[in-house]
Amino acid sequence: MSMKRSFILGILLGFYSSKISAQNKTFTLTLYYNINEVSSQTNFNQLDSLYTKLGANSSTISVYGYADFLNSDSYNIDLSQKRADEVKNYLLKKTGGSKISIKICKGLGEKNSKAKQSSEGEVSQRRVEVIIIEEPTFKKIGTRNNVIQDVPKKESPPEKKNLAELNKGESLAVEGLSFIPGRHLVTESSVPVMNKLLRTLKEHPELYIEIQGHVCCPGDGQSEGFDFDTNEYKLSENRAKAVYDFLITNGIEEDRLTYKGYGHRHPKVKIETTEEEEQINRRVEIKIIEN
């Protein structure tokens, strides 16, 4: 692939990668770069377009820079940070610092890149992720003693901690259940967690469940993790099946259980930057099918 073609592909991939969620009002824009490129007028134009969609609400912004495997680790960290800083500075200049708050601006280098024997690198990894969360505007309901009153914040329902409390269609992450990295074998510390799940299902024979596997940070464009036990990209499914097999072996009726791997398609944290965030996405959830 020529340098020019790689650059054009980057533009096509970047325009328009934004996703808009009406529920949480989160905008995500992915900007792509040529090899060693830091500043791009094409990307600035996309930031202008995104800015017009934000409206009058205040926004919290996170900026993450990336690089591909070309050059050294230290160079790529520096390059990805420069890319993130350019985007941050452009947004601050564009808005004058009003209406936006830059929460994070971090270069992650070649964190998600996989070394390949190609002088063109990976266009999909030469990028900046811009994540924008619009903050809701309170409605005014009048004044009291010349003080403006806001609409009271609606109380959130208490978080459900037990499978037996869930309604049909609801899910709950199995806290404390962890696996050996890259494998579908549970850690020794997870055995009591598995036994607790088994007891719950035995005590509530009305529960029919789906066991859902999720993984973190697969990288290299994969939506699924690689299982070193089976040499295939089915890590989340194999982990869900490991829980399924344990329950079946210990007396839970097969027709009460199903399992499915969701890979990295439904992360709780979109971009993991810490070990804690990776662990949040590396999980098993139980969904109630019938109760």
Return the residue matching tokens 């993984």.
Answer: 215
> What pLDDT sits at residue 83?
94
Share of the chain above pLDDT 90, in %: 26
Tens digits of residue pLDDT in 250-273: 999 999 999 999 988 888 887 777
**pLDDT number for residue 30:** 83
Confidence (pLDDT) at 62: 84
pLDDT in tens, 93-113: 877 766 778 888 889 888 766
Residues 11-39, mean pLDDT to the nearest whole number = 61
Confidence of residue 46 (pLDDT cuts 50, 70, 90): confident
pLDDT of 52 > 90? The answer is no
pLDDT confidence band for 225 (50 / 70 / 90): confident
What secondary structure, in 3-state letters, does 200-230 show? Answer: HHHHCCCCEEEEEEECCCCCCCCCCCCECCC
- How confident is the model at residue 99, as a pLDDT? 73
Domains and CATH numbers, the chain: 3-134 (3.30.1330.60), 163-290 (3.30.1330.60)
CA 234 to chain centre: 19
How buried is 112 (Cβ within 10 angstroms: 0-12 exposed, 13-18 middle, 19+ buried)?
buried
Give the Cα separation of 64 and 130 in Å (integer): 7
| Alpha-helix runs per DSSP H in the chain | 3-14, 41-52, 73-95, 191-203, 235-249, 275-281
**Tokens 């996309």, residue located:** 46
CA 211 – CA 160 distance, rounded (Å): 17
Q: Confidence class of residue 217 from pLDDT cuts 50, 70 and 90?
A: confident
pLDDT > 70? residue 125 = yes
What is the band of 280 on the pLDDT scale with cuts at 50, 70, 90?
A: confident
CA-closest candidate to residue 88, choices 76, 75, 74, 106:
106
pTM above 0.85, yes or no: no
The conformational region for residue 140 under phi > 0 = left, psi -120 to 50 = alpha, else beta, is beta
In the predicted structure, residue 32 carries a pLDDT above the cut 70: yes
The mean-pLDDT minimum among 21-35, 80-94, 134-148, 175-189 falls in: 134-148
Q: Which residues are bridge partners to 290 per DSSP?
A: 208
Q: Would you state the pLDDT for residue 56? A: 58
pLDDT for residue 23 is more than 50:
no
pLDDT at 244: 95
pLDDT tens by residue, 156-172: 455 556 777 888 888 88
Q: 249 is written with which tokens?
A: 């072996």
